[in-house]
Chain A
Amino acid sequence: MKKLIIILSIILVSVCCEEDIKWELKTQKSNILVVEGMITNERIQHQVKLTRPVERLNEIPEPVSGAAVTISDQNSTFILDEYPEGSGIYLTDSIRGVFGRVYALEIKTADKEYSAEATMVAVTPLDTLEYSLASASGDLFQLTHRNNSDEPSMTEYYLDWSDVHGFTGADPCGAKIIYYSLNTIDAGEMFRPESEQVLFPAGTVVYRKKYSMNEAQAAFIRTLLSETEWRGGLFDVQPGNVQTNLSEGAVGYFSVATVISDSTIISP
């Protein structure tokens, strides 16, 4: 299928072009709360990040400070503290989520109270790490991620080449790539636009962390990808706002996940 996309891309790229353009958006100042929070089964300080939308691309978002943030399950309530002060980042104590439990997030700001719920589901094992030599780059490699799982999931890949002498790549330290596996089929996904190619040398350490996803989160991720990774191809669907599990018009997502991780050193 990937080759097919390449073929279609060749056809289409031969007749289409994309270039940057100065575009005046009909922007609106928004007071919507943006929530980015996650609880996993790792015993760490979990965080919830609160910000406001930005009016233009690449702007730095304004943090939402001074909110009262709690996460609770059937047995306990955890109070999150903002740290550093004024950052909009709220941290739990070092706790771990438990598989099967329902977690509720509550946020109180000066004018509204927001809430969200999520259930932790089990993660499936990581597949074998797959990578190959990039044909045009000589001795550099690329990830060849395949979705072999029927369960939705998110896998973060941290590529660390800081110890590989003489290689800087796009960033001196490494790269972070996120793959999502969904059990739905979309034309936008099949005919997604060309994406940035991250190449890495032998000796790179690849840290992988796979997160489970419940159905609601998978639906959220599907809409998120529709507006990001899948947007801008030649078979786009109608744009629309990304789903959320937050109340009162807030955007973003509060997710809970079980995780599994491994690491691999890339060998030639």
Chain B
Amino acid sequence: MFRSGQKYIVFVVVLCLIFNLIPVLAQPDLQKPISIDAQNKTLAEVLEQISIAGGINFSYSPSEIISERRISLSVKDVPVSEILDSLCTELNLGYVIVEEQIVLKAAGKNEQDTSGYRKELFSLSGYVYDRKTGEVLIGANILIDELAAGVVTNPFGFYSITLPRGLYILKLSYVGFKKSIIPVILDTNIVRDFHLDQEISSLQEVIIRDDYEGEVSGRTQMSQLKLEPTSVSIMPALLGEPDVIKSLQSVPGINLMGDGSTLFFVRGGNKDQNLILLDDAPIYMPSHMLGFFSTIVPDAVKEIKIFKGDMPAEYGGRLSSLIDIRSKDGNMNQWGVSGSFGLVSVKGTVEGPVVKGRSSLFLSGRRSYFGWFVDQFVPDLNKMNFSDLTGKFNFRINDNNRLYFSGYAGRDYFSEGPSGSDLSGIRWQNLTGSFRWNHLFSDKLFSNTTVYASKYDYSLVTDLDRNDVWHARIANISSKTDFTWYRNPDNTIRVGGLFSYHSFNPGNYESGTDTKAVDFPIVSMKYATETALYFSDSRNIFNWLSIRYGARVNLWMNSGKSTEYSFNENYQVTDTSFYKSAEVYNFFVTLEPRIGVSFWINPATSIRAGYSTTVQHIHLITNSISPFTTVEVWLPSGPNIKPEIADIITAGFFRRLHYPEMEFSIEAFYKHMRNQIDYTDHAQMLLNPLVESELRFGSAESAGLEILLKKNYGRLTGWLGYTFSHATRKISGINNNKPYPASWDRPNDLSLFVAYDISKRINISANWIYMTGSAFSSPVSFYYYNGRSIPLYAEKNNDRLPDYHRFDVSARFDLNKNDEKFDHNLVLSIWNIYNRKNPIAINFNKIKTEEGDIVVPTNFIKQPLLYSTQLYLFGIMPSITYNFRF
């Protein structure tokens, strides 16, 4: 029927892999009979004739299939499939149908891999976009099965992979998007952007997941999870307010401090050892309403990445965890509006293109309105609200340069007094701003430069008449540059640097009218600069062995204008030093090595281990045991506070049970932390210039085992997580120098989350959390003084609160059919459905009044009758939220 000019080596391996992909694709009609009469034509010419006659498209690398070879073909009314079969057999080619294309490949390619064919390398790079909105997709997977290689888009949606010449079948995937299989002929360096389509179903899968292991740096990464913002928005939420921070409670190894708190602990670390970044800028205190709600609204978030330890070298600054949040860029293609109404707040988002396909704007705001209800009962209340505003503008200058401007402002305000007066109350605010410049030096070398600033302000107006304000602040202005060199599929190198200027106001009184009227101690301001350089190298040594190593070097310098005190062993002042502005008077140089290694038993199973050192120079100084955020202050490392240092060892077993539906992992960790801070009994934290004398230092240890079973896809999704851990501290001068359990030590932690799509328009989800009660100090006896019963304590944290558990459910009803322009839904949620009373404190100093109220006694005419009491928050809390989008 035809004659071939040249033979090729037979191969089948690649096609076997590729055929796994076929079922998800639409196929051209290969049964269509066609007629071809080609004599001594090039293969390319023959294929073109087939293409025209059969109405099909071919993709191939001309050099790979030698399309210039001459063949003859003469058939009449023969189905296309038969022609292709014969052609491929004769020419030792293979074909596969990919997205309505016939992809032709040469046989025996794998065998040529070692013979120099691979030496000719080309890079494929570009961005991956959401086709509908034009937003870049962070963490989209691009997999080349036949090479068992892949790449994941970086936080700016960029990817780069270097491969031998050839035709490749790329498998693109991203949560909530249709998988896409795209053939790419790589015979030169190619810049190619990909666009993925959103899943038609409006209901979302609820997913926490690891990064794809195919990417070289992801292959060795441990203790990292991604939490999809869409998942957060359908998880049962307190008062119907989806909350990024509170949703972390379901992640093994992360414990919230309690109900109504945004403070959390990761793997035995303290609450200030977690770095929350929003577009690279730190959010120092992510709470609204003292912690009932967090500042991070899922509507404005594109990606949430959680590192529970084993942080890559490009990150630093905190000991225990990193919550890396990227805000949405905004729709590049069309303007849209979305929003919601709940019991607590109203939210609204506007996004759209400024220059279509080139730049976009995103604005999202939230404003509480429950203050109005309180105002009905407390007329003196002037203001009581919180608000958030997130904005972002991005602009593609050209293919090699992009700019991003983003900002966040969150504010809480409680005030009393005459309308228009701001004289008495509490207010705090978070402000962040980031300017980022992405630049491509080449197809393989990506850089990002960020200039960012953050500020957290806290003001407590304590006296209406004198207008005295206690004010604390922490702020930074920083610049960082990161370079990523995608050297080849088996090697990615990252280098970068950071410079930060930090300022701290540890809390001072200020008078709005007369500075002389306020006679309070002055707590010295603190200033410091931080310079960090890092390097990391991730590489696949063999198919079964990957390694990631790197280090971060940090230089921390304290500078004036400041006052520093020296203390003797009894914590009495021995010297006072005054430093002028910008005078450097103290510094620390620290090295943070990071290493990770993975052994791949098979493509679905790996054993990984890692070691990292992390350093922290910013310390939250508070002896509060309240789950609420109050009047905390920050202090930097300095002459009296050494940097906190943690050595973290992790090891784990990871297994995909039925790819990609279920994943199972066991991770063990051990963390040793030095220079940990605790406080003397009843330390005076506010307005104390000598507050450093109230601090005590020592070490802490934590160890644990985390087990996680996840089902990421399908109608039923969710996870089951269990953690067994211990966290202890040993601080000089505390608890008679003996080790004691940390108050956040919760040995058993179990979380179960399931979501189920009942239909295309109804989704239900449920959440059950169980934790051992936290440790606290209970009295061992009491004594009396001046009518008061005073507790005597023996050992620190000698007792435990009752175990914590809670069950929440929610249901989401889509009110419209799919694909309607106006999309709206209703979310009904019941938090703590069985009304569990989870105490946050046990008290031994209260009486019961005749009305049954539990209060502190004030009448000591005779000895009051005291009770043990438990204080708890939030019984059963139903809520309803209406969401819309158009």
Contact = CB atoms under 8 A, between A and B. Distances in A.
Contacts of B470: 185
B861 A173 contact: yes
Contacts of B792: 30, 32, 53, 241, 251
B513 interface: no
Contacts of B837: 17, 19
Contact of B378 (A10, A28, A234): A10
B783 interface: yes
B464 interface: yes
Given A58-B866, A185-B462, A229-B856, 5 more contacts: A1-B462, A17-B872, A26-B798, A196-B849, A226-B682
Given A19-B869, A30-B781, A190-B462, A3 B380 contact: yes
Interface stretch (A98-106, A107-115, A174-182): A174-182
Contacts of A237: 623-625, 682-683, 685
A20 B854 contact: yes
Nearest to A198: B859
Contacts of A234: 626, 628, 871
Interface in A188-205: 190-198
> Which secondary structure dominates chain A's binding surface?
loop
Contact of A193 (B784, B786, B855): B855
Given A196-B849, A198-B859, A20 B867 contact: yes
Interface in A151-184: 170-171, 173-178, 184
A170 B682 contact: no
Interchain residue pairs A-B with the least CB separation, the first 3: A240-B681, A232-B843, A53-B781
8 contacts: A52-B783, A58-B866, A177-B859, A178-B860, A186-B685, A235-B624, A236-B841, A237-B624
A7 B845 contact: no
Interface string A140-152: 0000000000100
Interface string B838-865: 0101111111110001111111111101
B859 to A, nearest CB: 4
A101 B867 CA distance: 41
Contacts of A198: 858-859
A74 interface: no
B866 A222 contact: no
Interface in A21-53: 21-23, 25-30, 32, 34, 36, 51-53
Interface of B: 260, 289-290, 292, 374, 377-378, 380-381, 384, 414-416, 424-426, 460-464, 470, 519-520, 623-626, 628, 630-631, 679-687, 776-794, 798-799, 837, 839, 841-849, 853-863, 865-875
Interface of A: 1, 3-4, 6-8, 10-12, 15-23, 25-30, 32, 34, 36, 51-59, 61, 150, 170-171, 173-178, 184-187, 190-198, 222-224, 226-229, 231-232, 234-243, 251-253
Residue with the greatest number of chain A CB neighbours at <10 A, chosen from B374, B623, B687, B842:
B623
Given A23-B868, A36-B784, A185-B470, A194 B856 contact: yes
A194 B624 contact: no
Contact of A26 (B628, B682, B799, B849): B799
Contacts of B841: 232, 236
Nearest to B844: A57
Residue with the greatest number of chain A CB neighbours at <10 A, chosen from B384, B470, B783, B866:
B783
Contacts of A252: 783, 785
A187 B785 contact: no
B786 A178 contact: yes
A238 B416 contact: no
B682 A195 contact: no
A14 to B, nearest CB: 9
A235 to B, nearest CB: 5
Contacts of B866: 57-58
A240 B855 CA distance: 21
